[in-house]
Structure 1
Amino acid sequence: MSNVFVIDSEYQPLNPVHPARARQLLTQGKAAVYRRYPFTIVLQQVADEPEVRPLRLKLDPGSKTTGIALVNDTTGQIIFAAELSHRGQTIKASLDRRRALRRGRRQRKTRYRKQRWQNRRRKQGWLPPSLESRLANILTWVRRVCRYAPVRGLSQELVKFDMQLMENPNMTGMQYQQGTLQGYEVREYLLEKWQRACAYCGKMDVPLQVEHIHPRAHGGTNRISNLTLACELCNKAKGTQSIEVFLGKKPDVLKRVLTQAKKPLKDAAAVNATRYALLERLKATGCPVECGSAGLTKYNRTVRGLPKSHWLDAACVGKSTPMVLTQKGVVPLVITANGHGSRQMCRVDRYGFPRTSAKQAKHVYGFQTGDLVKAVVTSGKKVGIYSGRVAVRTTGSFNITTEQGTVQGISHRFCQAVHRSDGYSYWHRTSTPLPQ
């Protein structure tokens, strides 16, 4: 597993240690568990620790998932890795439902009520809530990792980093297309746009070739809208035929390909809309920020022979990437943003009118819904040990969602908090996801 974060008795970050060393400190009583996710221990007394080694936190921001990697630039060791899943689409769907209910109430057979949305002014740099949540998730975890590890620099995948111009200051014109990064930017875009599958037969996990929808032999161009991905068999079978002839017997596939070719990359648009806002907020943390392009990230990963994944992409961001990255024993922590509950005071029916009473107390006997608890039941019909997410009730009788299912009617007296609800759920890539 990944290294364990360590903070001293004054809550200052120290060098992360191997899990075996952390287990030894806990067994000897020299440290205590400070936090479960990410796993962090705190030293019980002041100890002579070696000089703190600076680390670099690398980010690969994405529309749905962001890769996070903590790397030692000197040794090339990956200290910590995580994949953060966002909830932007969930937020957008919730806002759409709320908007529909409000419009429905306004347009019924009642007195006319003027729309008020134009009365509100948006401040400079405003972003939609679905995009703002992505930035908030990333910044939350940047602050957490910086709190538990000696981070001295940040790397973000943002813009093209011109390595060719650094090597040859006189490079101009078409020489850029013939250098080390040739084809990486375009191919990466096409892989995302066509879901890493052959556009004609739908095969995945096979070598894909860049293909011209309208053949160049018939006047086709190299514009992105005219490019797609095809497996070798489909590419050879199509040859210089027009796509209408090649897919004449597959009208549904023809319609899908032509529609997808004109369709913009929605996820890329979301990342582009937030990348500079994220850069400014990262700079506000006080750490120096390094930027790198998606093409450079893929080039670094390809040269080092690493498989495709979000956290390995993050480890390869920027020119500071060591030539050798040590990933042995690293198990990425999968983080899913769930939010902190709903601000809606009561549930509504399909017409938008209240159908339940107002919410009760959020905290019940020191617990709140979403806490990860361990319940050791010693009496009654449900004797046993249960670990999972808790749903509180004002009566003190809780429900616990475990890997095997939901156990109802567990008294608060048997519950012990393992990890307080913080708006995220966690699991390691090699284990079963924790209940939501």
Structure 2
Amino acid sequence: MFVLAKGGEPLMPCHPARARELLGSGRAVVARRAPFTIRLKDRSRAGSAVAGVQLRLDPGSKATGIAVTDERDEVGPKGRTALVRRGLVSIELRHRGRQIHSGMVLNIEHVRPRSRGGSDRVADLVIACVPCNQAKGTARIDEFLADRPARLERVIAQLQRPLHDVAAMNTTRLLLVKTLATHGVAVHTWSGGRTSWNRLAMGLPKSHTLDAPATGVIDLERGDAVVRVPAQILVVRSTGRGSYARTTPDRYGFPRLQRPRRKIHHGFSTGDLVAAVVPKGKWAGRWVGRVSVRAGGQHRITTLTSRFDVSHRNLRLLQRADGYTYGFADEIRLSEERGPAYSGRTLKGGDPGNVRTPDA
């Protein structure tokens, strides 16, 4: 569980049992529902021990692995001092690019057809809609756009651009480190090759959340090791903050109906985490989930297992929407025989894509 000082500064994460104890004794209050975070009422950041806590990043184009680790020197059985790293929290941040891409009906088109000597190099690929892709067929780009010279010029100019993805990823990584370092926590990230080397040396399988704790210097000759990784990861998915479109289109792209300009209805907005107390009927009981608002006040609530309509009078706001959804997944199985340097426990297996949301 995430823990905050009474001033709101981050402290050392704690076990769920410890969080329940602090809440039950009145020493802490709930600061956030998702991800679940408590705030201590009697302890400041200056009076807390957070030495050795570090933040490690493994940036990716589709997801970013984030690990909070505890690092300290320990004396081994042979009397040598080695660095021991323990994973405290693992987070997989899934970016919105895949969601946006899956919502766009586009194809990858070869500018120079493969039947005429084209290749799968990036310099020969462009994005095209389905009708244009089918109409072009095996024709050359100058033949297909002979009657549209302006568009042909734009396509040729696009092909001559350098590869921006690698530069954008490197810029994002450096900006992340620079921004997060302002919070007073040591932040580490490394090149993909060095991270992969460390991960394999520790006997860890491939995943973003296992790459993250392997970033940074690990001296194998000295006996440095990653001895623990969390058995469960927090999956954070970027969902955005709604649409700016003022109309809802049909399947052909023409406006079908007009959307309301207001996003807050009866005190709630779509994506808010709410608690619903339904007094009677099929859905009688207490439910926790995300809400989709309607102007009439009969909002729709989505839980882990159900979806139904409920009056706004029966809803209580737990947390405002922040553009993300939160869930939990088991880390992939780790084998004790994967490598000699890994001495942590074998974790329970699970599909990282099978996310259990904490909202319900």
Do they fold alike, i.e. is TM over 0.5? yes
Q: Deviations over 1:233-274 (max 9, x none)?
A: xxxxxxxxxxxxxxxxxxxxxxxxxxxxxxxxxxxx775242
Q: Deviations over 1:193-217 (max 9, x none)?
A: xxxxxxxxxxxxxxxxxxxxxxxxx
Q: How do 1:82-101 residues align onto structure 2 when only pairs under 5 Å count?
A: 82-92=91-101
Moved more, 341-350 or 312-321: 312-321
1:317 match: 215
Structure 1 position 381, deviation (Å): 4.8
2:322 match: 422
1:61–1:271 contact (8 Å) kept in structure 2:
no
Amino acid paired to 2:13: P
1:348 match: 249
Q: 1:355 to 1:276 in 2, by over 3 A?
A: same
Amino acid paired to 1:433: R
Give the Cα separation in 2 of the matches to 1:291 and 1:29: 38
Q: State the aligned residue count.
A: 271
Among candidates 181, 199, 215, match of residue 301 of structure 1: 199
Q: How do 1:38-53 residues align onto structure 2 when only pairs under 5 Å count?
A: 38-46=35-43, 49-53=47-51
Counting aligned pairs with the same residue, the percent is 38
Amino acid paired to 1:308: K
Q: Scaled by the length of structure 2, what TM-score is found?
A: 0.65
Structure 1 position 312, deviation (Å): 0.8
1:11 match: 8
Q: 1:94 to 1:403 in 2, by over 3 A?
A: closer
Q: How do 1:146-185 residues align onto structure 2 when only pairs under 5 Å count?
A: none
Give the Cα separation in 2 of the matches to 1:69 and 1:378: 43
- Whether 1:278 and 2:172 are equivalent positions in the alignment is yes
Amino acid paired to 2:66: I
SS at structure 1 position matched to 2:20: helix
Q: Scaled by the length of structure 1, what TM-score is found?
A: 0.55
1:69–1:78 contact (8 Å) kept in structure 2:
yes
1:59–1:67 contact (8 Å) kept in structure 2:
yes
1:371–1:419 contact (8 Å) kept in structure 2:
yes
1:372–1:418 contact (8 Å) kept in structure 2:
yes
SS at structure 1 position matched to 2:269: coil
Among candidates 279, 300, 316, match of residue 399 of structure 1: 300
Give the Cα separation in 2 of the matches to 1:24 and 1:343: 44
Give the Cα separation in 2 of the matches to 1:432 and 1:282: 26
Q: How do 1:2-151 residues align onto structure 2 when only pairs under 5 Å count?
A: 4-46=1-43, 49-74=47-72, 75-92=84-101
Give the Cα separation in 2 of the matches to 1:361 and 1:44: 38
1:65–1:86 contact (8 Å) kept in structure 2:
yes
Give the Cα separation in 2 of the matches to 1:273 and 1:29: 49
Structure 1 position 284, deviation (Å): 3.6
Q: 1:358 to 1:302 in 2, by over 3 A?
A: closer
Structure 1 position 364, deviation (Å): 1.8
- Whether 1:433 and 2:356 are equivalent positions in the alignment is yes
Q: 1:347 to 1:378 in 2, by over 3 A?
A: same
Give the Cα separation in 2 of the matches to 1:304 and 1:382: 50
1:122 match: none
Amino acid paired to 1:60: D
Q: 1:290 to 1:358 in 2, by over 3 A?
A: closer
Amino acid paired to 1:276: N
SS at structure 1 position matched to 2:205: coil
Structure 1 position 307, deviation (Å): 2.5
- Higher RCO, 1 vs 2 (CA within 8 Å, ≥6 residues apart): 1
Structure 1 position 43, deviation (Å): 1.5
- Whether 1:387 and 2:288 are equivalent positions in the alignment is yes
1:367 match: 268
Q: 1:318 to 1:432 in 2, by over 3 A?
A: closer
Structure 1 position 17, deviation (Å): 2.3
Q: Deviations over 1:281-324 (max 9, x none)?
A: 13542727655222222221122122322201111012258923
Amino acid paired to 2:239: N
1:226 match: none
1:57–1:70 contact (8 Å) kept in structure 2:
yes
Alignment root-mean-square deviation, CA: 3.4
Among candidates 213, 226, 235, match of residue 334 of structure 1: 235
1:80–1:330 contact (8 Å) kept in structure 2:
no
* Runs of at least 5 residues in structure 2 that lack an aligned partner in the other structure: 73-83, 107-127, 133-149, 155-161, 331-353
Q: Deviations over 1:130-166 (max 9, x none)?
A: xxxxxxxxxxxxxxxxxxxxxxxxxxxxxxxxxxxxx
Q: 1:395 to 1:326 in 2, by over 3 A?
A: farther
* Runs of at least 5 residues in structure 1 that lack an aligned partner in the other structure: 104-113, 119-126, 128-268
